[in-house]
């Protein structure tokens, strides 16, 4: 499966389902009808927002709805019944070059198989429930001369860390102080991360890039539990620091 732009773990399909899940709790009924999205049950978002920790979030209907949407219904790694394995495998025989081509996305898709995946997605649900506006730029397309095929333009997807480092209007001070940003950088537990990200989202007027924020949370949980990636330059803390200080310095010149 293809990984979403500027993401390490979140796939394109998961990003689409995540956006629809979020819209079901925030968009107007007319907009939901146009996009063929079922409106979320009354109070679903409020129950997510009131859940103070990950165990409480795991028990909410909002999390379950998201989890069963993004979680693949069929796990190909499960041991199959005798006699059924050969039949299934004979239906699709990918070429060797196809296996090599899809080996990397397959690894990222298996994030859901990790023992901490459910906790990570519970944190995603809890943080994104506080977001009211998705500020992810939509991919722009332009028609070719024949008007049939379309080509994508490169878009700079904003991150939450970059938004936090952006200056307050008519000031050079960042929206999130450096001290509070460092607290986020050094979060020592899953519950602390949940608390700090929720506070940051509220401080940013409940605006955030859904896909990038969700993927950052998935990356944080992967590092917290499995200590991956091991290369320092690929760690989420360094990524956040780069985005935060780049946004802060770009407006101070």
The two beta strands, 150-152 and 141-143, are antiparallel
Report percent pLDDT > 90 for the chain: 60
Report percent pLDDT > 70 for the chain: 75
Q: What is the DSSP letter of 142?
A: E
Give the homologous superfamily in CATH for domain 12-71+109-137+156-250: CRISPR-associated protein Cse2 (1.10.520.40)
φ/ψ of residue 147, rounded to 5: 75, 20
Contact 206, 131 (CB under 8 A): yes
φ/ψ of residue 11, rounded to 5: -85, 165
pLDDT of residue 221: 96
CA atoms 65, 66, 70, 71: torsion sign: negative
Contact 185, 193 (CB under 8 A): no
pLDDT of residue 169: 82
The alpha carbon of residue 190 and the mean position of all alpha carbons in its chain are separated, in whole angstroms, by: 16
The pLDDT tens digits of the residues spanning 227-239 come to 777 677 778 999 9
The pLDDT tens digits of the residues spanning 14-47 come to 999 999 999 999 999 999 999 999 999 999 999 9
Picking from 34, 35, 30, 59, the residue whose alpha carbon sits closest to that of residue 47 is: 59
- Domain spans, the chain: 12-71+109-137+156-250
pLDDT of residue 181: 94
The pLDDT tens digits of the residues spanning 88-138 come to 343 444 444 443 444 334 344 478 889 999 999 999 999 999 999 999 876
């Amino acid at each position: 499966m293809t990984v979403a732009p500027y993401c390490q773990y979140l796939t394109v399909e998961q990003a689409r389902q995540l956006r629809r899940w979020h819209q079901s709790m925030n968009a107007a009924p007319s907009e939901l009808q146009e996009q063929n999205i079922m409106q979320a049950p009354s109070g679903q978002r409020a129950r997510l927002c009131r859940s103070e920790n990950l165990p409480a979030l795991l028990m909410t209907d909002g999390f379950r709805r998201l989890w069963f949407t993004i979680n693949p219904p069929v796990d190909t790694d499960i041991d199959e019944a005798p006699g059924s394995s050969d039949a299934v495998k004979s239906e699709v025989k990918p070429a060797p070059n196809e296996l090599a081509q899809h080996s990397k996305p397959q690894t990222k898709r298996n994030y859901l198989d990790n023992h901490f995946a459910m906790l990570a997605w519970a944190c995603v649900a809890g943080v994104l429930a506080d977001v009211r506006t998705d500020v992810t730029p939509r991919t722009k397309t332009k028609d070719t001369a024949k008007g049939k095929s379309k080509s994508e333009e490169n878009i700079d997807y904003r991150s939450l860390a970059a938004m936090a480092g952006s200056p307050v209007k008519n000031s050079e001070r960042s929206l999130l102080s450096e001290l509070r940003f460092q607290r986020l950088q050094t979060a020592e537990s899953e519950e602390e991360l949940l608390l700090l990200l929720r506070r940051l989202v509220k401080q940013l007027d409940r605006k955030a890039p859904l896909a990038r924020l969700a993927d950052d949370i998935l990356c944080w949980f992967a590092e917290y539990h499995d200590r991956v990636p091991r290369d320092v330059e690929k760690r989420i803390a360094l990524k956040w620091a780069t985005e935060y200080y780049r946004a802060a310095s770009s407006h101070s010149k």
